[in-house]
Structure 1
Amino acid sequence: MRPPLDIIYQDDDLAVINKPSGLLVHRSRIASEAREFAMQMLRDQIGQHVYPVHRLDRPTSGLLIFALSSEIATKMSESFATSQVEKQYHAVVRGYLPEEGTVDYPLKEELDKIADAQADKDKEAQEAVTHFRCLEKVELPFKVSKKHDTTRYSLVELTPETGRKHQLRRHMAHLRHPIIGDTNHGDGRHNRFFREHFDSHRLLLAATGVEFKHPVSGETISLTVPLPDEFLKAFQAD
């Protein structure tokens, strides 16, 4: 059984948690084996109904906002839909990323065979924009791929302008700098290297910052959480 959720912020209208990697936001048909969900855990922890207003992928950790009423949920969902919520992520990627840049690369919606069985499979690609900034680089003396005798990684800050499904994972893969631990869009050799050498068994992507206007008071709420320890192991190893 998981320990209690880490509640970063709470008032009469909102609760914000630091969701652990591996925890689903709510029940899903595509993960029928799961028995614990952030929504139910937070409800039981604070003793009232909660309403998710956005999502984080199961393997992604970090800041997750819940409304404490349906009215506030509607207002916050509108803020997300109109890009009034600023989000910041951190990730560890393969290779040396440029110092900074922008990925402006439309994405076709990824459909799940079960959950999206009735969805339009011919829908056009949607606009998707991600800004990135490289924070740290490391070169390690390990031959992970056949081409190189050493291996390189970057710690990167990611700021999405849009919120497409798996946007950050797909954009980093598009740049040929996939996020470590990504089993769908990543590089299995580097994922295995991190498991074996750094005991890292998760996707190295975390939602570390969020800023929005409070739906009732209008006050600017700015929240951050520390980078998980797993993200720093490679950069402390040289």
Structure 2
Amino acid sequence: MMENSATGVLWPEQKLEILYQDEALVAVNKPSGLLVHRSLIDKHETQFAMQMVRDQIGQYVYPLHRLDRPTSGVLLMALSSEVARLISQQFEARTLQKSYLAIVRGHLTGEGLIDYPLVEQLDKIADKKANQHQPAKAAQTQYQCLAQSEIDAEINRYPTSRFSLLKLLPKHGRKHQIRRHLAHLRHPIIYDVNYGDNKYNKYFKNLNQATRLALHAHKLELTHPVSGQPLKLKAALDESFKQLLTMTKLTFNEERV
């Protein structure tokens, strides 16, 4: 195993878990803390999901979508430029369905739609030539509460602390959309260092130094670009996410999702 110095998260040095592979596509379960591809910001990093998958299967891969570095879960890649084009069309038409799991602060009950436009967050290095004054763009995320809990810990100003496990279906793909939407509702994701609650982040880091963002890309459903058949990909929760479930006393029922 190899440790990422920035996050303390461990992942296999040589191999990633392959969820699906055929002549057109390959999907892996990306660990939290692993970059999808090289970044101008993280020049010191030497391991990237795309490179690892390429070396693992002995074939060049084409990226189809992104997962934030601290987010784990289903990462899909094409094995040809033509397949990449066909899948990109599905992303643009929003005919793919991405499903995430997140642990958030507080009790967010029931289900609903977060309809909150977001201003695109530009990277200071990679997007320095882009228009820096863009209007907010449509962004919608469906949510469903799967479980709730309360622990005897005074993290903020209350004697106990509450948590919810959510299923999230983003309708758009804005940068950090789920994280920003949940922060907007004042139910930030646990250990979100960008949009979360610093007191909660500190509490969980003190409990476990390997604490990671409690966001997991659980499922990806699409139409296979060659066969035309429905394709459902699912990534199991890793140990670091399971540890957060244990620390928050949340129960995950796989049958409900």
Q: How high is the TM-score relative to the length of structure 1?
A: 0.96
Aligned equivalent of 1:111: 122
* TM-superposed deviation, 1:220: 0.3
- Alpha-carbon distance between aligned partners in 1 of 2:82 and 2:147, rounded to the nearest angstrom: 42
Aligned equivalent of 1:156: 166
* TM-superposed deviation, 1:231: 3.9
* TM-superposed deviation, 1:48: 0.6
Aligned equivalent of 1:184: 194
What secondary structure is seen at the aligned counterpart in 2 of 1:169? helix
Aligned equivalent of 1:170: 180
1:206 aligns with 2:225: no
Aligned equivalent of 2:18: 7
* TM-superposed deviation, 1:230: 2.8
1:88 aligns with 2:105: no
Match of 1:232 among 238, 241, 245: 245
Contact 2:34 2:69 in 1 (8 A): yes
Q: What letter corresponds to residue 127 of structure 1 in structure 2? A: A
What secondary structure is seen at the aligned counterpart in 1 of 2:86? helix
* TM-superposed deviation, 1:198: 4.7
Q: How high is the TM-score relative to the length of structure 2?
A: 0.89
Q: What letter corresponds to residue 230 of structure 1 in structure 2? A: Q
* TM-superposed deviation, 1:226: 2.1
Q: What letter corresponds to residue 177 of structure 1 in structure 2? A: H
1:197 aligns with 2:207: yes
What secondary structure is seen at the aligned counterpart in 1 of 2:190? coil
What secondary structure is seen at the aligned counterpart in 1 of 2:41? helix
Aligned equivalent of 2:6: none
1:107-139: CA deviation from partner (whole Å, max 9, x where unpaired)? 000112111111111111010000001111111
- Alpha-carbon distance between aligned partners in 1 of 2:111 and 2:101, rounded to the nearest angstrom: 14
Contact 1:90 1:227 in 2 (8 A): no
Contact 2:14 2:56 in 1 (8 A): no
Aligned equivalent of 1:67: 78
1:28-51: CA deviation from partner (whole Å, max 9, x where unpaired)? 101112110000100000001000
Q: What letter corresponds to residue 209 of structure 1 in structure 2? A: K
Question: Size of the alignment, in residue pairs?
Answer: 237
- Alpha-carbon distance between aligned partners in 1 of 2:166 and 2:159, rounded to the nearest angstrom: 23
What secondary structure is seen at the aligned counterpart in 2 of 1:29? coil
* TM-superposed deviation, 1:3: 4.3
Match of 2:49 among 30, 38, 47: 38
Aligned equivalent of 1:218: 228
